[in-house]
Amino acid sequence: MVKNATATSADLYFYGDICADYWDAWQDEDQYPEAIRSFLAEQEGKDLNIYINSGGGSVFAGLAIYSMLKRHGTKNKVKVHVDGLAASIASVIAFAGTEKPVIPVNAFMMIHDPWTAACGNAKDLRKMADDLDIITTGIWAIYEEHLADGVTIDQIKELMKAETWLNGQQAAQYFDIEVGDPVEAVAAVGDYLAKAKHIPEGMKSEAQVAQERAAKEKAAQEEKKRDELKRLIIKNKL
């Protein structure tokens, strides 16, 4: 979702899930690497303002988006603002700017170990566990580049294991961020937030409302894409 594009800057919003591709993006708010690649090509030479309110999503998609934004930042200013929530892989994207991300005192960052759903025999499941361990090291490396003074990556690892929610002030104890003034809270849109285990009490109602809205929107988008696929099949047969 892009807003306020000018000759010198553009605003980019991560207000939904971080998805692998177009077919996984069931809501307009969802983002995926190909969409970000196209966006950056169109906004080449411009400074970016990035706004995040996301429960996360695909680790590989998020890492790809992080890398693309970092490359854009080698020639342009990239400023990240967490409007409500930067959870899971969205917390990694929060560090893609050329300066400290801004997290208001009443906004949140959530960090945790990556997880997945898997099926197969014992060998398959052991490999999946090993793969998750390797994936986690990539996330550690990014967090380690943005630690507050005196904080070690081992401390962050423990927070990730426990699925830790940090408001702006708490996040500043562990990461090199700018604590912003309170903002009007907005519910994060997407499916991934509902999978969290330790949603803060003050966010539960927002998460439930967002989940219900996301489910309705996803159902509508699924029906739309099924109709589109049917039209393509019929067209090709004709």
Among candidate residues 112, 146, 198, 205, the one labeled active-site is 112
What local confidence, expressed as pLDDT, does residue 204 receive? 56
Percent over 90 (pLDDT), the chain: 52
Check pLDDT > 90 for residue 149.
yes
Among candidate residues 54, 58, 88, 91, the one labeled active-site is 88
- Asked if 72 is an active-site residue, the reply is no
pLDDT (tens digit per residue) in 93-105: 999 999 999 999 9
What local confidence, expressed as pLDDT, does residue 168 receive? 93
Q: Which residue has the higher pLDDT, 202 or 220?
A: 220
- Asked if 198 is an active-site residue, the reply is no
What local confidence, expressed as pLDDT, does residue 191 receive? 56
Beta bridge partners of 180: 104
- Rounded Cα–Cα distance for residues 16 and 175 (Å): 24
Residue 104 contacts residue 182 (beta carbons within 8 Å): yes
Percent over 70 (pLDDT), the chain: 81
What local confidence, expressed as pLDDT, does residue 104 receive? 94
Boundaries of every domain in the chain: 2-237
Question: Within its chain, how far is the Cα of 111 from the centroid?
Answer: 11
> In the predicted model, what is the mean pLDDT of residues 203-216?
58
Q: What is the mean pLDDT of the chain?
A: 84
Q: Sorting pLDDT into bands at 50, 70 and 90, what band is 131?
A: confident
What local confidence, expressed as pLDDT, does residue 63 receive? 94
pLDDT (tens digit per residue) in 55-78: 898 899 999 999 999 999 999 999
Check pLDDT > 90 for residue 200.
no
What local confidence, expressed as pLDDT, does residue 7 receive? 83
- Rounded Cα–Cα distance for residues 117 and 134 (Å): 16
Q: Sorting pLDDT into bands at 50, 70 and 90, what band is 146?
A: very high
Q: What's the number of CA atoms in the CB half-sphere (13 Å) around residue 62? A: 27
Q: CATH number of the domain at 2-237, please?
A: 3.90.226.10
Q: What is the DSSP string of 135-156?
A: HHHHHHHHHHTTBPTT--HHHH
pLDDT (tens digit per residue) in 155-192: 999 999 989 999 999 999 999 999 988 776 555 555 55
Other CB atoms within 10 A of residue 20 CB: 18
